[in-house]
């Protein structure tokens, strides 16, 4: 691999984290982002599960892209994604039932997460095996980081905890931030904040 | 050079009424209820009101300063929001509750939409809903009137919800405000004096408050606890924040419909939702939620009650 | 099967656990299509139809295929495939036979194929109305009713939001929160308002 190629690979990886962050820039896959960001541990679990599905589906799609007929490509992608989601579901049920309960219906819902299908359609169906892998890894990590940012904010203000450790007994957390309405508020303000930074530049 | 010509369709009638005049008049008309609240609950009520007012006005000024807009705190709208928020708080809340509430009301309830006249939800009620969801224990513990020497006492509606006896609170007590409740909502007579002033000056119309109160009264009377037509409509009208909400918050120009028909639909919806939440909901009081939900429906109501423009074919 | 159960399903899926404001399903379409009232209503109609039909279909598949053969772990894959196929088929049929209806809501059908709400309701139904792989009594009716109520909640949120956003067109909103961010804040405030229905009892 020449240096140029390595550089290219690195670019595909790094873009998902900031420049094309799936949550804050592309605004994709918001349902799980909002629903499971009540605690950092949930966020990491969800991020890891989604990253696994992303990498798996991106790899398979880029491998068999020549064999998939153009007309029915979307159903094919969905089947591939659903397979990996089922794998994640079964693994999670077997090894960490507590996390599975906490994430609830949002584990099977990874199958309709727009990020996964979006990357398969927009990237993996056109690019090489290695690039697809780097792209999926970058997107997955970008998604996980975004989830973690939101969940750190929500866990602190909503439950008065930092990664499960209570801050102080004199701190009265605003319970609403841990509720759905608070999730919408936090994401709205965060998106506004990032827009503000972009405009300043 | 700015365009100094104002082009408008005739007829041109000038009325010496401005936004700031209305805002200050409404604030003025709310003063009796505040004084009554301070007499009934003592010093903390006054203290909370002042904190809330200062925070509301400061927040508006700071945000306008930061966004390089003209500072318009003199128009009284931030003052009114702070006042209404304070009136919707129990007198026993810690001092930071009105601070957070006023900040939320002004920043998220109003300024994020672009300021006065553009907000969708009543800012004070948005602030109250935020506080209610965040710190329910503070927002639902009430101190009783000073007269009873009670440390804490539930509101009549909360007692009703829990199925406890109401004690010796008569209609007259409720009318004068001798009951547990939020600072500005308890003294009905003081609220009515303010409302009469606003009605007399035609700053608010009678359709919204009348429809709202009538709907609550009738509905709670019809769906009584022991069957059809056994409810205590008068009790429901006098309790909770209904009078405050109906005269001073549902009538907000910005967040209520434009046409009379729309306003009646709006007020009926408010009344119905209030009664439903009071009778079957988890919270004892539903006025603020009812108004907020109908605020969200206001643009749709406006859309379907638009007056027909003469000569335009309806399709 | 009693009236109370139906009422509590209705209140909880329309208001308390509103599919958009509380469960965050179908959020993408909510933000994207709620700019104007008419498309928002049509989208709501399309979702209502698709969700009720898919509730029926997925119930049938779950009861007569997945449970008897003990392959419930294939739930995700089978549900998503069936829903996708059904929506595609529906689009073709509507375009062929009722062009008028197609104009009203057919164009939104492709958007629904991957709408989390449709799939979410199917999963939710199979979680709620099947205990230990056995259908609770009346589960079919409950599933269908829940599907309908969820779509009513969806349409309600869409309708309110579209009205609000039409009005906001005329407002002088700060530049950094225009469009998406403000839509989320409004949704949050609507969620706060709907919290008034928490703890409903009959």
Query: Are the C-beta atoms of residues B107 and C165 closer than 8 Å to each other?
Result: no
Q: What is the pLDDT of residue B148?
A: 53
What is the span of the domain harbouring residue A127? 3-146
Residue B127 pLDDT > 90, yes or no?
A: yes
At B50 the pLDDT is: 93
Contact C194 B293 (CB under 8 A): yes
Question: What are B89's two structure tokens?
Answer: 């708080």
B279 CB near a chain C CB, below 8 Å?
Answer: no
Mean of per-residue pLDDT scores for chain B: 85
Q: Which tokens is C91 given? A: 């689009």
Q: Tens of pLDDT along B232-283?
A: 888 888 888 899 999 999 998 888 888 899 999 999 999 999 998 888 888 8
For residue C22, count other CB atoms closer than 10 A to its CB.
Answer: 24
Contact B135, A174 (CB under 8 A): yes
Tell me how close the Cα of C122 comes to any Cα of chain A, in angstroms: 10
Interface test with C, best of B67, B101, B110, B114 (most C CBs within 10 A): B114
Range of the domain at B54: 19-304
Residue B313 lies in a domain: no
Distance CA B243, CA B208 (A): 11
Q: How far apart (Å, rounded) are the C-alpha atoms in residues B231 and B144?
A: 25
Q: How far apart are CA B275 and CA B285, in angstroms?
A: 9
Size of interface A-B (CB pairs under 8 A): 19
- How many structural domains compose chain A? 1
Residue that wins the pLDDT comparison between C31 and A141: A141
Which residue of chain B comes nearest to A177, CA vs CA?
A: B134
The domain that holds B130 is classified in CATH as 1.10.3430
Question: Looking at B32-46, B105-119, C130-144, which range is the least confident one?
Answer: C130-144
Q: Do A176 and B133 touch (CB under 8 A)?
A: yes
Q: Mean pLDDT: which of A164-173, B8-17, B262-271, C2-11 is highest?
A: B262-271
Highest averaged pLDDT of the listed ranges B77-86, B139-148, C27-36: B77-86
Exposure string of B14-48, with b = 16+ CB inside 10 Å and e = fewer, is: eeeeeeeebbbbbbebbebbbebbbebbeebbbeb
Tens of pLDDT, residue by residue over C50-103, are 888 888 998 898 888 888 888 888 888 888 888 888 888 888 888 888 777 777
Separation CA A53–CA A80 (nearest Å): 9
Say what the pLDDT of residue B153 is.
62
Q: What is the mean pLDDT of residues B92-110?
A: 91
Among A126-140, B2-16, B73-87, C29-43, top mean pLDDT goes to: B73-87
What is the rounded distance in angstroms from the CA atom of residue B99 to the CA atom of residue C181? 24
Mutate to test the interface with A, among B127, B132, B134, B296 (most CBs of A within 10 A): B134
Higher pLDDT: B148 or B212? It is B212
Q: Is A170 helix (H, G, I), strand (E, B) or coil?
A: coil
CB contact under 8 A, B136 and A179: no
SS3 C131: strand
The pLDDT value given to residue B4: 65
Contact C120 A109 (CB under 8 A): yes
pLDDT in tens, C123-152: 888 888 887 777 777 788 888 898 999 999
CA distance A31 to A33: 5
Kindly report the average pLDDT of chain A as a whole number. 85
Digit-coded pLDDT (tens) for B168-213: 677 887 888 877 888 888 888 999 999 999 999 888 889 999 999 9
Q: How many residues does chain A have?
A: 201
On whether residue B9 sits in a domain, the answer given is: no
Q: What are B280-294's pLDDT values in tens digits? A: 888 888 899 999 999
A80 within a domain of the structure (yes/no): yes
Q: Which residue of C has its CA nearest to A116?
A: C114
- Mean pLDDT, rounded, for A82-93: 91
C77 vs A79, A182, A199: nearest CB: A79
Q: Higher pLDDT residue, C137 or B129?
A: B129
Q: Do residues A123 and A135 touch, judged by C-beta distance below 8 A?
A: yes
| C196:B133 CB<8 A | no
Structure tokens at C116: 């989390």
Mean pLDDT of C13-19: 86
Residue B151 lies in a domain: yes
C84/A182 Cβ within 8 A: no
Closest CA–CA distance from residue B194 to any residue of chain C (Å): 27
Model pLDDT, residue B314: 58
Alpha carbon distance A113, A99 (integer Å)? 19
Is residue B164 over pLDDT 80?
no
Structure tokens at A110: 């990874």
Q: What is the pLDDT of residue B1?
A: 47
Start-to-end Cα distance in chain A: 36
Is there a contact between B174 and B224 (Cβ–Cβ < 8 Å)? no
What separation in angstroms does the CA of C99 have from each of C102, C103, C106, C107?
5, 6, 9, 11
In chain A, residues with a C-beta closer than 8 Å to the C-beta of C119 are: 108-109, 111-112
pLDDT given for residue B2 in this prediction: 56
Say how many residues make up chain C.
202
Which chain B residues have a beta carbon less than 8 Å from that of A173? 134
Residue B308, CB half-sphere, CA atoms under 13 Å: how many?
6
A189/C98: higher pLDDT: A189
Average pLDDT, stretch A25-53? 85
- Confidence at residue B51, expressed as pLDDT on a 0 to 100 scale: 93
Residue with tokens 């809330």: B52
How far is it, in rounded angstroms, from Cα C195 to Cα A76?
Answer: 41
Share of chain C above pLDDT 70, in %: 94
Closest CA to C166 of C45, C68, C39: C39
| Minimal CA separation from B294 to chain C, in Å | 9
Beta bridge partners of A166: A161
Counting the structural domains of chain B, the total is 1
Q: How far apart are CA C180 and CA B199, in angstroms?
A: 40
Task: Judge whether B88 and B182 are in contact, CB under 8 Å.
Answer: yes
Q: Is C128 on the interface with A (CB under 8 A)?
A: no
Task: Of A48-57, A113-122, B12-21, C174-183, give the lowest mean pLDDT range.
Answer: B12-21
Asked if residue A196 has pLDDT above 60, the reply is yes
Give domain status of residue B83, yes or no.
yes
Identify the pLDDT of residue B70. 84
A148-180 pLDDT, tens per residue?
A: 999 999 988 888 888 777 777 778 888 888 888
- At residue B230, what are phi and psi to the nearest 5 degrees? -115, 0
Q: Residue C18 has what pLDDT?
A: 86
- B147 has a pLDDT exceeding 60: no
* Helices B287-304 and B260-280, packing angle to 10 deg: 150
Residue of higher predicted confidence among B124 and C168: B124
- Residue B289 has a pLDDT of 92
* Beta carbons of A75 and C85 less than 8 angstroms apart: yes
Which chain C residues are closer than 8 Å to B135 by Cβ? none
pLDDT of residue B53: 93
């Amino acid at each position: 691999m020449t240096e140029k190629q390595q550089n290219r690979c690195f670019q595909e990886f790094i873009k998902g984290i900031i420049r094309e962050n799936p949550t804050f820039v592309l605004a994709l896959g918001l349902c799980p982002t909002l629903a499971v960001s009540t605690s950092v541990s949930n966020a990491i679990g969800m991020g890891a599960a989604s990253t696994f599905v992303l990498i798996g589906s991106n790899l398979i799609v880029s491998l068999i892209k020549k064999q998939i007929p153009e007309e029915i490509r979307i159903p094919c992608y969905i089947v591939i994604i659903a397979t990996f989601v089922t794998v994640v579901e079964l693994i999670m049920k077997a090894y960490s039932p507590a996390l599975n309960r906490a994430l609830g219906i949002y584990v099977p819902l990874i199958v309709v997460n727009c990020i996964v299908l979006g990357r398969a359609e927009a990237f993996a169906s056109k690019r090489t095996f290695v690039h697809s892998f780097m792209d999926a890894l970058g997107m997955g990590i970008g998604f996980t980081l975004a989830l973690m940012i939101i969940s750190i904010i929500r866990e602190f203000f909503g439950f008065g905890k930092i990664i499960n450790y209570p801050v102080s007994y004199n701190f009265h957390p605003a319970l609403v931030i841990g509720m759905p309405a608070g999730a919408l508020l936090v994401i709205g303000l965060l998106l506004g904040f990032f827009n503000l930074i972009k405009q300043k530049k | 050079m700015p365009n100094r010509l104002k082009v408008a369709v005739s007829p041109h009638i000038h009325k010496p009424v401005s936004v700031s005049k209305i805002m200050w008049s409404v604030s003025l008309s709310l003063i009796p209820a505040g004084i009554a609240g301070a007499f009934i609950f003592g010093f903390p009520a006054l203290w909370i009101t002042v904190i809330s007012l200062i925070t509301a006005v400061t927040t508006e000024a700071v945000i306008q300063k930061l966004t390089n807009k003209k500072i318009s705190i003199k128009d009284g709208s931030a003052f009114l929001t702070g006042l209404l928020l304070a009136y919707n708080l129990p007198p026993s809340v810690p001092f930071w509750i009105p601070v957070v509430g006023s900040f939320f009301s002004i920043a998220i309830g109003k300024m994020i939409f672009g300021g006065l006249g553009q907000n969708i939800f009543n800012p004070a009620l948005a602030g109250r809903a935020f506080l209610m969801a965040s710190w329910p224990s503070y927002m639902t513990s009430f101190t009783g009137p000073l007269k009873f020497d009670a440390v804490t006492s539930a509101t009549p509606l909360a007692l009703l919800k829990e199925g406890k006896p109401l004690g010796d609170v008569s209609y007259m007590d409720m009318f004068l405000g001798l009951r547990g409740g939020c600072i500005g909502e308890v003294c009905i007579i003081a609220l009515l004096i303010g409302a009469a002033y606003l009605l007399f000056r035609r700053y608010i119309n009678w359709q919204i408050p009348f429809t709202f109160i009538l709907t609550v009264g009738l509905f709670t009377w019809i769906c009584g606890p022991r069957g059809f037509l056994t409810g205590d409509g008068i009790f429901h009208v006098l309790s909770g924040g209904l009078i405050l909400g109906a005269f001073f918050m549902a009538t907000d120009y910005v967040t209520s419909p434009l046409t009379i028909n729309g306003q009646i639909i709006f007020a009926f919806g408010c009344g119905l939702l209030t009664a439903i939440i009071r009778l079957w909901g988890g919270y004892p009081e539903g006025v603020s939620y009812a108004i907020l939900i109908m605020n969200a429906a206001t643009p749709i109501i406006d859309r379907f009650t638009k007056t027909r423009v003469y000569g335009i074919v309806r399709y | 099967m009693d009236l109370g159960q139906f009422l509590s399903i209705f209140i909880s899926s329309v208001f308390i656990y509103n599919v958009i404001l509380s469960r965050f399903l179908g959020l993408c379409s909510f933000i994207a299509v709620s700019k104007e009232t008419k498309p928002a209503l049509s989208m709501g109609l399309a979702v209502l139809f698709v969700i009720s039909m898919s509730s029926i279909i997925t119930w049938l598949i779950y009861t007569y295929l997945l449970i008897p053969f003990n392959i419930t772990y294939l739930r995700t894959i089978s549900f998503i495939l069936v829903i996708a196929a059904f929506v595609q088929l529906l689009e073709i049929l509507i375009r062929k036979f009722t062009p008028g209806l197609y104009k009203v809501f057919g164009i939104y059908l492709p958007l629904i194929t991957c709408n989390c709400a449709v799939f979410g309701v199917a999963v939710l139904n199979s979680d709620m109305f099947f205990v230990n792989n056995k259908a609770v009594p009346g589960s079919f009716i409950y599933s269908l009713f829940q599907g309908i109520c969820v779509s009513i909640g969806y349409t309600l949120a869409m309708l309110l939001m579209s009205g609000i956003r039409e009005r906001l067109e005329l407002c002088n909103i700060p530049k950094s929160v225009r469009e998406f961010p403000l839509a989320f804040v409004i949704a949050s405030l609507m969620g706060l308002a709907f919290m008034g229905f928490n703890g409903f009892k009959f």
